[in-house]
A and B are shown apart, each in its own frame.
Chain A
C-alpha cells in the first residue's frame, strides 16, 4: 500500500470529531508550529516540501506565501477556496465531509505562517452539509482553545469563518471568490494587482485550495524535506484524485505523485479497471477544463514510455499529445461513450457558468455550445469542425480569467484527437443519434516516429 498522508485515518469511526482526530495525532502540527516555530520557519518548511497548489494551476504554495506583501498595520487574510465546482472533481468535498479537522488544523498553521488573524473558508453554496460540518468542527476547536484568542497559550489569535457561496463556478477563480466574499457580484478582477498585494478588502491575501491547506499539516508534522521525498521530480507529495466515469471503483484516492496512469486505472488498489469489461476510450485527467486524451496517449507518452500521474508527466508533449493534472478530477470514458456529446456537455457547462464580463468568453462559449449541440443532434456541417477550432483559438488567452481557456481547451483537444468521430457525426447524422462511433483506433499503440536521414 502506498503511503497516505491526508486520508490515513479516513476509516476510523468518529474521525470527524475533535476527540478521535486528536487521539490519532491530530493538531500536533498546530502545537509544533505555534510553540516551536516562527511564521517564517513554517513558510520555509512549506517551500522545502515543494508542495504545489492542488486547485488546478499547480503553483508552488511556498512561493505564493512568500510573495504576500507585509505592510505594517494592514491586516492580512488567508482564504481557503472550497468552491470546488469543476465537473469531475469532488476531493475537497470528501475531505471536508470526513475529516473536517484536517482542513481546520491546516488553516490554523497556514494562517499563523502568513500572520493572518482572520481567515475564511469560502464553501460552494451547494455544499450545505459540509458547511454545517465545518461550522460544528470550528465550534469544537474553539471550545478546545485551538481557535480564538491566545491559541494554546502562544499569544496568537485566529478567527475562522465559513462563508457559503452562491454556487457559481466562476467564484472558484480566486479574484471572483474575493469579490463574492466581499458581498459583490462574483466577477473576476483584472490582474494586476494580484491578491498577494491587494486582495480581500484591498488587503494582502492568499487564496489556497482545501487540499493544499490540508497538506500543510503532514508537512509540518514530518518536516518539509520528508514530504519532498514522496513523489517524483518537482511533483512532490501525495494528491487526492477524484476518479469517476466508467470505472469499477470510482471514488477519491490518495496517490503518491508519480504513479503510472495504467496502474491507477487498472490496479485493484485504485480504480480496478473499466466497468462491465469494456475497454478504455479516453480520459480527462484533471477535471473538465483540461484537454481530453485518447486511451493510447493516456497510458503512454508519445515516445512510448508510460505516462505517470504527476504535473510534469501528464503535461508532457504540451497540448499536442499531453494534458494537465489540474485539480485531479480523473474521468474515464469507455468505448460506448460519445466524445461529441461529452464535449457538448462540457461546453454547455462553461456557457452556463461564464460570468459575462469579457466578450470572447461571454459570446464564444455560447457559440461553441450551439455549434456542438448542432453536431451532436445531427444537423452539423463539415465546416463546423474548423469553426469550433477557430472560435476556441479566439477565446483562448484573450480573456480576463482562465475560464475562457478552460472552455476552449476541451473543445480544441477533442477535435484534435477525435476529429474522425466529429466527422462521422456529420456524415452519419441519423445513425449517430442512436449508435456511437465506438472505440475506433483510439486505444491502438501509438505509431513510433521513424527517424529518417535525409540524404
Chain B
C-alpha cells in the first residue's frame, strides 16, 4: 500500500501525496483541466479560497464516503481524499459558476487595460478573455479610489484591485514588519498601508509581482512601455540579500524593468530584493543566461521580430501592398 492517494480530475487519474489540494493535484496533471486561480499563491501560506475562480465540483467525496459534496468547493483549499472524483471543465455547472465569478470580479474593475501597465501579463485579462461575457450587465458607477504611493517605488491603484489578499500575505510573510492590510468592509474595502506610510523593507517590491492585476505597479516602469514590446531575458547576479535570479525586460538595449522569474502559473519562483528590482538596470550588472520561455498563448510571445515582415497575403496582392506601404518600407530598412 503506497502512501499516495488517488484522485480523478475530469477523468484523468493521478496519484498525489496526502494533504495535497485539488488545485495542486490538477497542476500535476497539467493542461486545460487546471482551474484558474486569482488569489491562491503556492508560495504564500494561507492564501487562497477568496476569489472563487478555482471552484470545482466534487462528484465523489472519497472511496470511503462516496457522497458528492453539496456545494462547489474552492479547489485551492480543499484537500484530496483517496478515490475522490472531481469535475472541472467537464461540468457545465462549474463553467457557469466560474463565469459568474469572473463577471463579479469585473463589475468594479475599471477595464482601463489600454493604459494599464499590467496589460499583456494580467491574470484577470486572461481570465476574462477565457470565461467572460462580451458585454457587461453592470450599469452603475464603478467604485473609485485615489491612487496611493506606497514608498517611492510602488504605486497602488486601488480601482483595479480584486482583493485577492496576496500582497497582504506577502507583507505578512516575506517582510518582518506588517505595515500593510485591508481597511473597510465589503465592496468598499481597500488595500492600504496604515495611514499611508511607506512600505520600507528590502523585499517590499515583491507585492508588485504577486499582484494578479495592475493594482500594484512598479513606478520605475510605469508608462515606460507595453510588456509585449519588451523582451524577457533570464539573468542573475551575486546579491547579498536575495538569490539574484531575475528576469530582465529589454527594449532595444535598455533594461526597462526587473522582475522575479515566474512559472507557468504566473507565480514567482524566488522572491527578489528591492536592490535587484529597482536599482540594477544596466546590462553590466547582470550575467545574462538565456531568453525567458514565454507560453505561446501569451501576448508577449507574439513579439518576434520576424512578424514585422508583412504577411504573405500582403506580399502577393498589389492593392494591399499599396495600403501597407509604410510597413513594407520598414522591413526593407531592417
Chain A residues packing against B (C-beta within 8 Å): 168, 170, 185, 190, 351-360, 362-367, 370, 387, 393-394, 397-400
- Verify A360–B101 contact, CB threshold 8 A: yes
Q: Which of B47-55, B115-123, B192-200, B266-274 contacts A (4 or more CB under 8 A)?
A: B47-55
Say how far A452's CB is from chain B's closest CB, in angstroms: 33
B187 touching A351 by the CB < 8 A rule?
A: yes
Knowing A359-B101, A360-B104, A363-B108, say if A400 contacts B187 (CB, 8 Å).
Answer: no
Pair B185/A359 contact, Cβ less than 8 Å = no
Known: A359-B101, A394-B103. A400 touches B49 (CB 8 A): yes
Whether the pair B187, A354 counts as a contact (CB closer than 8 A) is yes
Q: Is B189 an interface residue (CB 8 A)?
A: yes
CB contacts (< 8 Å) of A351 on chain B: these are 186-187
Q: Chain B interface secondary structure, helix, strand, loop or mixed?
A: loop
Known: A363-B107, A397-B71. 19 other contacts (CB 8 A): A168-B185, A170-B185, A351-B187, A353-B185, A354-B185, A356-B163, A356-B182, A356-B184, A356-B187, A356-B188, A358-B49, A358-B50, A359-B50, A360-B100, A363-B108, A366-B186, A366-B187, A394-B103, A399-B52
**Are B187 and A363 in touch, CB under 8 angstroms?**
yes
Cβ contacts A to B, 19 pairs, < 8 Å: A170-B185, A185-B182, A190-B77, A351-B187, A352-B185, A359-B105, A359-B162, A362-B186, A362-B187, A363-B104, A366-B108, A366-B187, A367-B104, A367-B107, A367-B140, A394-B97, A397-B72, A398-B55, A398-B100
Interface residues on B, range: 20 to 34
Distance to closest chain A CB from B172 (angstroms) = 12
Which chain B residues (245-275) contact chain A, with CB distance < 8 Å? none
Inter-chain CA distance A265–B278, complex, in Å, is 70
Q: In the complex, are the beta carbons of A356 and B49 less than 8 A apart?
A: no
Complex Cα gap A397–B97 (Å): 10
The verdict on A357 contacting B100 (CB below 8 Å), with A168-B185, A190-B74, A397-B71 known, is no
Q: Is there contact, CB below 8 Å, between A387 and B163?
A: no
Q: How far is the CB of A408 from chain B (nearest CB, A)?
A: 12
CB distance from A370 to the nearest CB of B (A): 5
Are A355 and B185 touching (Cβ within 8 A)? yes
Query: If A354-B185, A367-B138, A398-B55 touch, does A362 touch B72 (CB 8 Å cutoff)?
Result: no
CA A105 to CA B107, docked complex, whole Å: 50
Instruction: Specify the chain B residue showing the minimal Cβ separation from A351.
Output: B186
B70 to chain A, nearest CB (A): 8
A387 and B101 alpha carbons, distance in the complex (Å) = 15
Assess whether B185 is in contact with A360, with CB atoms less than 8 Å apart: no
The CA of A243 and the CA of B17, in the complex, are separated in Å by 53
Chain B residues at the A interface, C-beta cutoff of 8 Å:
48-53, 55, 71-72, 74, 77, 97, 100-101, 103-105, 107-108, 137-138, 140, 162-163, 165, 181-182, 184-189
> Per a CB cutoff under 8 Å, which of A352, A360, A393, A397 touches B186?
A352
Complex contacts, B100 vs chain A, CB 8 Å: 360, 393-394, 398
Q: Which residues of A contact B48 (CB under 8 A)?
A: 190
Give bound CA distance, A354 to B138, whole Å: 19
Instruction: Give the distance in Å from the alpha carbon of A367 to the alpha carbon of B187 in the complex.
Output: 10
Chain B nearest CB: distance from A121 CB in Å? 24
Please name all residues of chain A whose beta carbon is closer than 8 Å to the beta carbon of B49 when the two chains form the complex: 190, 358, 400
A356 to B51, CA, bound (A): 10
How many residue pairs bridge A and B at CB < 8 Å? 89
> Are B187 and A360 in contact, with the CB atoms below 8 A?
no
Of the candidates B97, B105, B162, B184, which one forms a contact with A398 in the assembled complex, judged by CB atoms under 8 Å apart? B97
Q: How far is the CA of A365 from the CA of B188 in the complex (A)?
A: 12
Closest chain-B Cβ to A394's Cβ sits at a distance in Å of: 3
| B77 CB, nearest partner CB in chain A, Å | 5
How many Å from the CB of B108 to the closest CB on chain A? Answer: 6
Q: How far is the CB of A141 from chain B (nearest CB, A)?
A: 36
Central interface residue in B55, B165, B182, B185, by most chain A CB within 10 Å: B185
Closest 8 CB pairs of A and B: A394-B100, A356-B189, A190-B49, A363-B104, A354-B186, A366-B187, A356-B186, A397-B71
The distance in angstroms between the C-alpha atoms of A354 and B328, with both chains bound, is 57
* Residues from chain A with Cβ under 8 Å of B185 in the complex: 168, 170, 352-356
Do B52 and A358 touch (CB < 8 A)? yes
Point out the residues of chain B lying under 8 angstroms from A363, CB to CB.
Answer: 104-105, 107-108, 187
Which residues of chain B have C-beta atoms less than 8 A from A398's C-beta?
A: 52, 55, 71-72, 97, 100-101
- Structural contact, B186 and A355, CB atoms closer than 8 A: yes
Contact B182 A387 (CB under 8 A): no
The CB with the most chain A CB atoms within 10 A, among B52, B71, B72, B107, is that of: B52
Report A-chain residues with C-beta under 8 Å of the C-beta of B101: 359-360, 394, 398
Contact A362 B97 (CB under 8 A): no
Asked if A357 contacts B50 (CB within 8 A), the reply is yes
Question: Of A352, A359, A370, A397, which contacts B163 at CB under 8 A?
Answer: A359
Contact call A364/B186, Cβ cutoff below 8 A: no
CB neighbours of B71 from chain A (8 A)? 397-398
Which residues of chain B come closer than 8 Å to A358, judged between CB atoms? Answer: 49-52
The smallest beta-carbon distance between A348 and chain B, in angstroms, is: 11
Among B50, B53, B104, the most chain A Cβ lie within 10 Å of the Cβ of B104
Contact B52 A359 (CB under 8 A): yes
Chain B residue nearest in CB terms to A366:
B187
A71 to chain B, nearest CB (A): 19
A358 to B108, CA, bound (A): 14
Q: In the complex, which residues of chain A have a beta carbon less than 8 angstroms from the beta carbon of B105?
A: 359, 363
- Of A355, A394, A397, A400, which is within 8 A of B104 by CB? A394
Chain B CB within 10 Å — which of A358, A363, A387 has the most?
Answer: A363
Closest to A186 in B: B185
The smallest C-beta distance from B159 to any residue of chain A, in angstroms, reads 14
CA distance A22 to B53 in the complex (A): 56
**Across the interface, do B50 and A364 meet the contact criterion of CB distance under 8 Å?**
no
- CB proximity of B255 to chain A, nearest CB, Å: 36
Q: From residue A434, how far is it (CB to closest CB) to chain B in Å?
A: 25
**Bound Cα distance from A359 to B162, whole angstroms:** 8
Contacts of A168 in B (CB 8 A): 185
List of B residues within 8 angstroms of A355 by Cβ: 185-186, 189
Chain B residues with Cβ under 8 A from A393's Cβ?
A: 100
Chain B: which residue is nearest A405 at the CB level? B71
Contacts of A357 in B (CB 8 A): 50, 163, 165
Complex Cα distance, B140 from A387, in Å, reads: 14
CA distance A168 to B185 in the complex (A): 10
Across the two chains, which residue of chain A brings its CB closest to B53?
Answer: A359
Most buried by B among A354, A356, A397: A356
Q: Which residue of A lies closest to B140 (CB)?
A: A370
The chain B residue sitting closest to A350, CB to CB, is: B186
Q: What A residues does B74 contact at CB under 8 A?
A: 190, 400
Chain A residues near B184 (CB-CB < 8 A):
356
Give the shortest distance, in Å, between A145 (CB) and chain B (any CB): 43
In the bound complex, CA of A182 to CA of B189 (Å): 21
